Structure 1
């Protein structure tokens, strides 16, 4: 009799412990699931907010404040996903509006460095390369024109001939040639834009006018 009661009590104890560990396991799984969901949604929320502020900065007079807000949101997203190159690109846009061009270049350097650059589409990579080239020229055209040209050439290569803004990239490269005193190369490139890419390109026509006959 005593032996039977002991077995029953042991069984109850085992069942109780099993239920306890099962509940503990399920609670942990639920917590981890919520954490994973939050880790996925939180960066997206900050990215969306940063994008909204950048759009407002372009269309309103209060550019500086919206740019600062975009930078805060981008930094929040980076605290959760530090390797996301698109966030570094958003950060660079905000810094540019705030006239912090050197810092903007640093953010673009991170976005375009490996392994982050592998996460970018060809279009995004080309966009970042052209933007970095423009920033380099704004910071110090004389010293950085060669580096800017490398970025533009790479952007054109990455984009391919079907790119929607191929004409503007080629015109930017033409301006780089012009600034380096390579007038014949610049003239040929502007003419190529008009002949093969965009016959109505005002930028290319203006470039040819600047260079003369």
Structure 2
């Protein structure tokens, strides 16, 4: 009973202190300051993201490899600054992945996309954006598979991403094309044919899908 009385007295004191602070508008002021700080952080994060996107766009238009690497590295640094300010926004994680990919760091780019597509951040993406992120991760995994001379695990993971991607955005011809290529690598001929046909149905200009169908 003595312990219960002590706890009860502590609760009463805490409630009294809180009520006093509330009457002095201290909790409201703290909450307002917290919201203002978060708003400022969000604005700063967006600025870093926009600057990083501009640097990435410039890097893609460059022809000199050293300039591409330098600009892409700067874009990744701006993405990191945005992430530090707002880690729950998927956009800077995707920007970082694209910048790393441009530098040839596929594994690191996949890691960045893993974060972008995690439960912590994916809610900030629209359905179509999530489909595009899954497509990009699949492309990177296919690239890693080709670089390693096989990598069946990467192909299986790529197929999983692509199946989810076309569910989220069924009108993406490129996703169907790459899905067909992955199915071919797994000797799933009927599924590959269906994927190529769907790519052509969406966009008859996808010549690679037509060529693959003709060779099957």
TM-score normalised by length of structure 1: 0.78
> Residue 120 in 1 paired to residue 125 in 2?
yes
The aligned runs of 1:1-213 (5 Å cut-off) are 35-61=37-63, 62-141=67-146, 142-143=151-152, 144-160=154-170, 163=171, 166-194=172-200, 196-211=201-216
Find the aligned partners of 2:163 and 2:205 in 1 and give their Cα distance.
Answer: 22
Q: Structure 1: which 5+ runs fail to align? A: 1-20
Task: State the number of aligned residues.
Answer: 185
Distance 1:80 1:192 in 2: 41
Q: CA deviation at 1:115?
A: 2.6
Q: Structure 2 stretches of 5 or more lacking a match?
A: 1-23
CA distance 1:202–1:78, change in 2 (3 Å)? same
Displacement of 1:36 in angstroms is 4.2
**Corresponding residue SS for 1:114:** coil
CA shift in 2, pair 1:186/1:65, >3 Å: same
Q: Give the C-alpha shift of residue 29 in structure 1.
A: 9.4
Cα distance in 1 between the residues matched to 2:160 and 2:142? 12
Secondary structure at 1:75 match in 2: helix
**Residues 158 and 33 (structure 1), Cα distance of their counterparts in 2 relative to 1, 3 Å cut:** closer
Q: Which has the larger radius of gyration?
A: 1
* Partners of 1:180 and 1:186 in 2: CA distance: 9
Asked if the contact 2:52/2:76 (under 8 Å) is kept, the reply is: yes
Moved more, 47-56 or 137-146: 137-146
Three-state SS of the structure 1 residue aligned to 2:76 is helix
Q: Distance in 2 between matches of 1:151 and 1:197?
A: 19
TM-score (ref. length: structure 2): 0.77
CA contact (8 A) 2:42 2:86 kept: no
